[in-house]
A and B are shown apart, each in its own frame.
Chain A
C-alpha cells in the first residue's frame, strides 16, 4: 500500500485506518473533556447528557478520571 493507495477515497484499508485513528482520537478528546468538565463542577448527569449516553454508562467508563490531574 503506497501513498497513492492511501489517498484513494474508495480504498477500504485507508478508510478503516481513518476510522481507527479517529476513534482513538475521540477517546482521548473525551477523557480530556470529561476531566475539564469535572474540574468545572459538572455532574455526571450533565456529562452523560452532553455525551449522549446514560449516566451509568458515562460513570462506568470514565469515572477513573481525576479532575485535578492536568499533566
Chain B
C-alpha cells in the first residue's frame, strides 16, 4: 500500500517534469501546445536515461531527432510548393509565445501520450515510470510528425519498437 502510494507520487513528479519540458520544447518551435514529438524530446532529458539509451541503440541523438522534426516540416512545405527562402523567413523574428498559465494544455497527440502513460499501470506495468515508457507510447502511434522523423532518420516503426522493447527488458 505504502509502496504504491510512493510510486504514485514518484510518477506524478516524473509526469510534471515531462510536461514542463515538453511545453518548453514546443515553445522553442513556436508551438503553443506540446505534441507527441515534444514529449519524446522531454523524455530524452529525464534522468533515468532509458530513452537516451534507446536512441543510442538506434544510432541517433536528440539533436538528430530535433533536426529531423524540422526537416519533416520543411520537406512537407516544399512538397506543398513553399520555397526554402519563404520557410526560412517564416522562422525568423517570430514573436515569442506567452508563458503558459492555467490548466496544462497539450496538443491532441500530446494528450494521447499522457493518456497512454496513465494506462500503463492498468496494463500491469510495474516499477517507476521511465522515459522509455514515453517512447513506447509514442512509437505505438502509426502516424504523425514523430513517426515521420524516425522514418527520415532511417528507422521504421518496428525497428524503433524493437529498440524500445530491448531497453524495457533491461529495465524490468
Contact = CB atoms under 8 A, between A and B. Distances in A.
B148 A1 contact: yes
12 contacts: A1-B148, A17-B72, A21-B76, A21-B80, A22-B77, A22-B82, A24-B73, A25-B87, A28-B30, A28-B94, A66-B95, A71-B93
B73 A20 contact: yes
Interface string A1-15: 100001100000110
Given A25-B87, A25-B90, A28-B30, A65 B95 contact: yes
Contact of A13 (B82, B96, B143): B143
B148 A13 contact: yes
Contact of A18 (B30, B80, B98, B143): B80
A20 B30 CA distance: 14
B112 to A, nearest CB: 15
A21 B74 CA distance: 7
Contact of B30 (A6, A21, A27, A34): A27
B95 A69 contact: yes
Given A13-B143, A21-B73, A31 B30 contact: yes
A53 B12 CA distance: 39
Contacts of B94: 28, 31-32, 71
Contacts of A22: 76-77, 80, 82
B84 to A, nearest CB: 13
Nearest to B86: A25
A71 B93 CA distance: 5
Contacts of A6: 75, 79
B136 to A, nearest CB: 21
